[in-house]
Amino acid sequence: MIAKRERGKMERRLVASLTHACEQAKLLLPGFCWLTHRVDYQRFPESLVVTWIFDTHPNLANALKGDARRCIVDLTAEALAEAGLDVGDVSRHLDFDSEEAFQREHGGDWQRRLRSKPTRH
């Protein structure tokens, strides 16, 4: 568990480092749109999940293969290291989604969609 005062500092570091990773990914990964994170600070850092959002399911499927997936893992690992986090196997903290699926399944409400996805245990 992380103290309340430290949560704000950690959140700012995470946002800054993940924003940097996001900007890099936009240049490297076809169809990548944005990323976000969610965490339960009562179970930090094991509950941390970074969700990578692509425009379409085909672009998402391509990103989950070979070099593109390695790029995602590496960018996430670098971002978490910049934020001062060591989570071990970064791939256990990744989630993926697409704007296309979001529109079809949740009709414009990203908050509801993300809330429906559990954090890690």
Residue indicated by tokens 């692509």 = 54
Please give the pLDDT value at position 117.
66
Instruction: Provide CATH code, domain 4-115.
Output: 3.30.300
Q: Say if residue 45 is preceded by a cis peptide, omega within 30 of 0.
A: yes
Q: Is the pTM of this model over 0.85?
A: yes
- Is the Cα dihedral 67, 89, 25, 59 positive or negative? positive
Average pLDDT over residues 42-56: 92
Domain map (residue ranges) of the chain: 4-115
Please say if the pLDDT value at position 119 is more than 60. Answer: no
Strand order in the sheet with 94-98: 32-38, 49-54, 94-98
Please say if the pLDDT value at position 72 is more than 60. Answer: yes
For the segment 84-104, what is each residue's pLDDT rounded down to a tens digit? 999 999 999 999 999 888 777
Please say if the pLDDT value at position 121 is more than 60. Answer: no
Please give the pLDDT value at position 89.
95
Average pLDDT over residues 37-66: 92
Q: Which residues pair with 37 in a beta bridge?
A: 50
Distance CA 87, CA 104 (A): 33
Residue indicated by tokens 């590496």 = 74
Please say if the pLDDT value at position 10 is more than 80. Answer: yes
